[in-house]
């Protein structure tokens, strides 16, 4: 893989949403009203994205915390949220975030945030905090949201991307269940997904595969041993 780090972030987001996908898992009664299947799948998105971005030449870390999207009339919280942070400038990459969260409705609509911003919502202001922001800082962001939407990320934990190789989704994850049904296990599966994503990003735009079934077949044809190569590459970044 190239160490240049030059990728089309919009394409990366779309590929991740297509391949990692959103399961048909339905939350049971009593689940928090703001939770959706998308919240649960943020881990898979971030595991794969951190690895794919790393082997594409980006020095990143896998992060966990909270995300809040402020619009003129609503606040959309996503707790226990996984995302990716670029080491050089603290910018956020989050291919799982989607606004509005069903069944909510809002004029602000987008799927995914890249390091350079949000392709579908260019007015979105993205800010990241290490630890809980001050009340005055949150108030300023809410005031700003009166004229343009704001995405606020609070990073509480972080890991190098190679740590994602060993991570697994929780039992209640619909996508985790799908992975185990189709691949037998979550063991070393994320490097295989990431390798396919990074390989697609490396090619010409006209050659990118947008057929999910074909992408899944590429994942199945990728050896689990790619994890060793990926771990070594990430450590050298």
pLDDT of residue 102: 62
- Separation of alpha carbons 231 and 156, rounded Å: 24
Strand partners, 107: none
What pLDDT, in 10s, does the model give residues 141-195?
999 999 999 999 999 999 999 999 999 988 777 788 889 989 999 999 999 999 9
Closest CA to 50 of 189, 234, 177: 234
Sequence ranges of the domains in the chain: 9-236
- Separation of alpha carbons 172 and 160, rounded Å: 25
Length of the chain (residues): 237
How many helices and strands, by DSSP H and E, does the chain display? 7, 6
CB neighbour list of residue 54: distance below 8 Å, 6 or more residues apart: 60, 161, 162, 230, 233, 234, 237
For the chain, residues with pLDDT lower than 50 are 1-4, 23-39
9-236 classified as CATH 3.10.550: yes
């Amino acid at each position: 893989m190239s160490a240049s780090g030059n990728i089309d972030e919009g394409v990366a987001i779309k590929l991740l949403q297509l391949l990692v996908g959103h399961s048909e898992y339905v939350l049971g009664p009593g689940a928090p009203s703001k939770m959706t299947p998308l919240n649960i799948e943020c881990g898979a998105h971030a595991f794969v994205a951190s690895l794919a971005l790393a082997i594409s030449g980006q020095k990143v870390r896998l992060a966990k915390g909270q995300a809040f999207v402020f619009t003129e009339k609503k606040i959309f919280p996503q707790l226990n949220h996984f995302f990716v942070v670029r080491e050089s400038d603290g910018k956020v990459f989050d291919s799982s975030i989607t606004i509005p969260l069903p069944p909510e409705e809002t004029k602000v609509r987008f799927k995914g945030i890249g390091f350079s911003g949000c392709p579908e919502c260019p007015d979105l202001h993205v800010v990241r905090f290490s630890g809980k922001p001050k009340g005055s800082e949150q108030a300023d962001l809410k005031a700003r949201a009166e004229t343009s939407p704001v995405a606020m990320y609070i990073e509480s934990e972080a890991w190098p991307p190679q740590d994602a190789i060993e991570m697994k989704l929780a039992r209640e994850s619909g996508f985790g269940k799908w992975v185990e049904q189709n691949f037998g296990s979550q063991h070393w599966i994320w490097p295989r997904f990431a390798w396919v994503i990074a390989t697609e990003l490396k090619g010409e735009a006209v050659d990118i595969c947008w057929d999910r079934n074909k992408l899944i077949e590429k994942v199945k044809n990728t050896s689990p041993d790619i994890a060793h190569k990926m771990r070594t590459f990430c450590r050298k970044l």
